[in-house]
A and B are shown apart, each in its own frame.
Chain A
Amino acid sequence: MKLTDYLNNPTYGSTRDGFGVGLKDLGGQNVQVIVLCADLSESTRVNWFKEAFPDRYLEMGVAEENMIGIAAGLALAGKIPYAISYSTFVVNNALGPIRSSVCYTNTNVKIVGGHAGFSAGPDGATHQALEDIATMRVLPNMKVIVPCDQEESRKATIAISKEVGPYYLRVGKFQSLNITTKETPFEIGKATTLKDGSDLTIIACGSMVAECLTVAHKLEKDYSIEVINMHTIKPLDYESILKSVKKTGAVLTVEEHQKAGGLGSAVAEFLSQPALTRLKNSIPMKIIGVDDSFGESGTVKELLEKHKLTAIYITKEIDILMTR
Chain B
Amino acid sequence: MLGQNNMLAQEISNLAIEIRENLIKMLLEAGSGHPAGALGMADVLATLYFDVLKHDPSNPTWEERDRVVLSNGHICPGFYATLAEAGYFPKSELMSLRKIDSRLQGHPHYNLEIGIENTSGPLGQALSQAIGMATAFKLDQKPNRVYCLMSDGEQQEGQNWEAFMYAGDRRLNNLTVLIDRNNIQISGYTEDVMPLQPFKHKLEAFRWNVLDIDGHNIEAIIDACHQAQAIQEQPTAIICNTIPGKDVDFMENLPYWHGKPPSKKEAAEAIDELEELEEENLAQSKI
> Which residues of A are at the interface with B, using a C-beta cutoff of 8 A?
34, 55-56, 58, 60-61, 63, 65-79, 81, 96-97, 99-101, 104-106
Contact = CB atoms under 8 A, between A and B. Distances in A.
Contacts of A66: 128, 131, 159, 162-163, 166
B132 A76 contact: yes
Interface residues of B, number: 30
Contact of A75 (B127, B130, B132): B132
Nearest to A79: B136
Contacts of A61: 162, 165-166
B119 A104 contact: yes
B122 A77 contact: no
B163 A69 contact: yes
A105 B126 CA distance: 12
B129 A69 contact: yes
Contacts of B69: 73
Contacts of B163: 66, 69-70
Given A61-B165, A66-B166, A69-B127, A100 B132 contact: no
A74 B125 contact: no
A65 B129 contact: no
A76 to B, nearest CB: 6
B165 A69 contact: no
B125 A101 contact: yes
A97 B136 contact: no
Given A74-B135, A77-B136, A78-B136, A65 B118 contact: no
A96 B125 contact: yes
A163 to B, nearest CB: 19
Interface in B17-59: none
Given A61-B165, A66-B162, A105 B135 contact: no
A63 B67 CA distance: 24
Given A65-B158, A72-B132, A77-B137, A100 B117 contact: no
Interface string B199-221: 00000000000000000000000
B119 A77 contact: no
A66 B124 CA distance: 10
A109 to B, nearest CB: 9
Nearest to B129: A73
Contacts of B130: 73
B159 A105 contact: no
Given A77-B136, A77-B137, A105 B119 contact: yes
A285 B128 CA distance: 45
B139 A68 contact: no
Contact of A100 (B125, B134, B136): B125
Interface in B115-161: 117-122, 125-137, 139, 158-159
A276 to B, nearest CB: 28
19 contacts: A63-B162, A63-B166, A65-B125, A65-B159, A65-B162, A66-B159, A67-B128, A69-B126, A69-B131, A70-B128, A70-B166, A74-B133, A76-B110, A76-B133, A81-B132, A100-B122, A101-B129, A105-B110, A105-B119
